[in-house]
């Protein structure tokens, strides 16, 4: 009887087989543990939230599969250790990382497209729409991720020709990650019944992003993800910085400055090592536009925080996957931000009972959303209290909304306040009325000399009981006339 090579086999192959098995087993065990912890963590959250429920189910279904089929133990260790960045030697194709830590990094990945490329146009827009002062505080990282090295080097030559000064000043750096650092891109799970080439495309894209944010983790305080086919608003940097100031003291994971794709999503750079690992762990599960939402939810930011207007516009007409038509536009995009209100830093107080999450601050900040309160009575008020006294040129207030036009302020006035109270009762002592609401709206200019000293409060007073609820859609304050 011929001997079964496996049954009788020599010692060596057996040892190898056992070793490989135990490696695989420990990999699977580690991943199961991770997912288990994730589920425990999620299970302790309030149950009414449907979105969280979905994440729970998703984490559970991921848990029953092996995430990475055939990868080295080294990869797993580096992926799960969140204390440091992934140890990857990037290739610098052009430019160098900045010498000092910047305020903001803009990061994007680019691959060869079947049709037009928009990368140079995107870079041109960023550098053209920013002032020298702004550029000094940011750096743009381009991750060229095409497997075709020929294309990468052609592209880097074009970039070097178009942006020599920006490369020299370290405002721009172009990198590439060698393919040997990529996990398997063949034979992946075909979730959502996606075609194999689509699965490969989106899985590789997740890894492209993971290595990009991993590279950027140490470059700046904040990181903005953009795509290689966008236009930006003039002075977007300053607007981002102003909006960041308005979020001071709140905890957030992702701030959004566009409603499309993986465009204009802002992170704390300190979260990037973790984001990189997250993208690696789930790289074959779903596209990045869905993964980044799960990341925010897992770090317990339940609601999307999106600012208006949008600061980046999608310009590509063909997608980078197979060049299919993709004309998505963000209708909240505004190129010229010079008319944006200044809304200096302030606290908001009101004695009108607030509905659920329609917080008073939403009327004042440029975060999407508005204040919504119970039907107010005469004497109720809504007060903006500035952190510092400020000269005011113009105030514009809109109440009601398109969906709820009846929820406007039927009768009310606006007053400017001085002599801020520093007691338990926030507000000002001295109020000078400056005008009345007309059909729920208020707009008045040339207010600089309405008060003897710079105002510290803007006070909205309800002057008649109303039976309809009240929406304050926006409060806009300009400190100077338009340029």
Q: How far apart are CA 432 and CA 452, in angstroms?
A: 10
Pick from 108, 264, 258, 234: nearest CA to 173: 108
Which one, 328 or 378, has the nearer CB to ligand NAG?
378
Nearest residue (CB) to ligand NAG, 72 versus 453:
72
The 3-state secondary structure of the chain, one letter per residue: CCCCHHHHCCHHHHHHHHHHHHHHHHHHHHHHHHHHHHHHHHHCCCCCCHHHHHHHHHHHHHHCCCCCCCCCHHHHHHHHCCCCCCCCCCEEEECCCCCCCEEEEEEEEECCCCCCCCHHHHHHHHHHCCCHHHHCCEEEEEEECCCCHHHHHHHHHHHHHHCHHHHHCCCEEEEECCHHHCCCCCCCCCHHHCCHHHHHHHHHHHHHHHHHHHHHCCCEEEEEECCCCEEECCCHHHHHHHHHHHCCCCCCCCEECCCCCCCCEEEEHHHHHHHHHHHHHCCCCCCHHHHHHHHHHHCCCCCCEEECCECEEECCCECCCCCCECCCCCCCECCCCCCCCCCCCEEEEECCCECCCCCCHHHHCCECCCEEECCCCCCCEEEEEECCCCCCCEEEEEECCCCCCCCCCCCEEEEEEEEECCCCCCCEEEEEEEEECECCEEEECCCCCCCCCCCCEEEEEECCCCCCCEEEEEEEEECCCCC
Nearer to ligand NAG, 51 or 351 (CB): 351
> What minimum distance in Å lies between the beta carbon of 215 and ligand NAG?
9
CB of 53 to ligand NAG, least distance (A): 31
Query: Between residues 76 and 263, which has the closer beta carbon with respect to ligand NAG?
Result: 76
- In the complex with ligand NAG, the residue whose CB is nearer, 180 or 186, is 180
The angle, 0 to 180 degrees and rounded to 10, between the axes of the packed helices 119-128 and 149-162 is 30
CB of 375 to ligand NAG, least distance (A): 9
| Closer Cβ to ligand NAG, 338 or 465, answer by number | 465
Shorter beta-carbon distance to ligand NAG: residue 171 or 312: 171
Residues written for the chain: 483
- Nearer to ligand NAG among residue 77 and residue 124 (C-beta): 77
Contact, 75 vs 147, CB < 8 A? no
- First and final C-alpha spacing in the chain: 96
Shortest approach of ligand NAG to residue 226 CB, angstroms?
23
CB of 36 to ligand NAG, least distance (A): 17
The single residue listed with the structure tokens 């020709």 is 161
As measured in angstroms, the least distance from the Cβ of 411 to ligand NAG is 12
CA distance 193 to 216: 33
Please identify, using beta-carbon distances, which residue of 72 and 81 lies nearer to ligand NAG. 81
Q: Quick one: 217 or 457, whose CB is closer to ligand NAG?
A: 217
In terms of CB distance, is 245 or 378 closer to ligand NAG?
A: 378
Query: Nearer to ligand NAG by C-beta: 218 or 418?
Result: 218
Q: Closest approach of Cβ 84 to ligand NAG, in Å?
A: 5
Q: How far is the CB of 100 from ligand NAG (least distance, A)?
A: 7
CB of residue 175 vs ligand NAG: minimum separation in angstroms? 14
Least gap, CB of 89 to ligand NAG (angstroms): 7
Q: How far apart are CA 455 and CA 461, in angstroms?
A: 16
Question: Shortest Cβ distance from residue 218 to ligand NAG (Å)?
Answer: 4
CB of 473 to ligand NAG, least distance (A): 24
Task: Summarize as ranges the residues that interact with ligand NAG (CB under 6 A).
Answer: 77, 81, 83-85, 87, 101, 218, 377-378, 465
- 99-115 burial, b at 16+ Cβ within 10 Å, e below that, comes to eeebbbbbbbbbbbbee
């Amino acid at each position: 009887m011929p001997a079964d090579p496996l049954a009788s086999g020599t010692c060596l192959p057996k040892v190898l087989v056992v070793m490989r098995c135990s490696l695989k087993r420990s990999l699977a065990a580690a991943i199961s543990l991770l997912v288990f912890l994730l589920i425990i963590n999620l299970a302790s959250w309030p149950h009414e939230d449907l979105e969280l429920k979905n994440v729970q189910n998703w984490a559970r279904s991921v848990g029953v599969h092996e995430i990475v089929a055939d990868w080295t133990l080294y990869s797993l260790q580096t992926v799960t250790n969140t204390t440091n960045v992934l140890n990857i030697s990037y290739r610098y194709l052009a430019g160098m990382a900045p010498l000092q830590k910047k305020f903001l990094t803009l990061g994007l990945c680019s691959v060869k497209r079947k049709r037009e490329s928009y990368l140079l146009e995107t870079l041109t827009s960023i550098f053209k729409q920013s002032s020298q002062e702004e550029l000094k505080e940011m750096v743009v990282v381009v991750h060229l991720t095409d497997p075709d090295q020929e294309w990468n080097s052609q592209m880097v030559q074009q970039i070097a020709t178009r942006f020599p000064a920006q490369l020299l000043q370290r405002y721009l750096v172009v990198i590439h990650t060698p393919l040997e650092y990529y996990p398997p891109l063949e034979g992946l799970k075909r979730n959502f019944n996606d075609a194999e080439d689509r699965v490969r495309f989106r899985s590789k894209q997740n890894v492209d992003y993971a290595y990009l944010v991993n590279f950027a983790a140490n470059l700046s305080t904040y990181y903005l993800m953009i795509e290689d086919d966008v236009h930006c608003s003039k002075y977007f940097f300053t607007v981002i910085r102003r909006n960041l100031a308005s979020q001071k003291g709140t905890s957030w994971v992702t701030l959004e400055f566009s409603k499309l794709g993986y465009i204009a999503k802002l992170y704390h750079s300190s979260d990037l090592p973790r984001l990189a690992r997250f993208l690696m762990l789930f790289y074959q599960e779903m596209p990045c536009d869905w993964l980044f939402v799960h990341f925010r939810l897992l770090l317990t930011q339940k609601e999307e925080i999106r600012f208006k207007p949008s600061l980046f516009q999608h310009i590509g007409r063909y997608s980078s996957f197979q060049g299919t038509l993709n004309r998505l536009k963000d209708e909240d995009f505004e190129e010229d931000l010079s008319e944006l209100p200044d809304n200096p830093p302030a606290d908001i107080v009101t004695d009108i009972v607030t509905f659920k999450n329609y917080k008073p601050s939403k009327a004042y900040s440029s975060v999407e959303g508005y204040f919504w309160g119970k039907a107010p009575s005469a004497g109720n008020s809504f007060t903006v209290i500035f952190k510092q006294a400020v000269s005011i040129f113009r105030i514009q207030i809109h109440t009601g909304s398109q969906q709820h036009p009846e929820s406007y302020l039927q009768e009310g006035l606006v007053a400017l306040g001085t002599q801020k109270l520093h007691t338990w009762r926030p507000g000002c002592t001295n109020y000078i009325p400056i005008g009345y609401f007309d059909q729920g709206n208020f707009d008045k200019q040339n207010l600089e000399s309405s008060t003897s000293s710079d105002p510290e409060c803007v006070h909205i007073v309800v002057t008649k009981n109303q039976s309809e609820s009240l929406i304050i859609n926006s409060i806009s304050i300009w400190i100077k006339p338009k340029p």
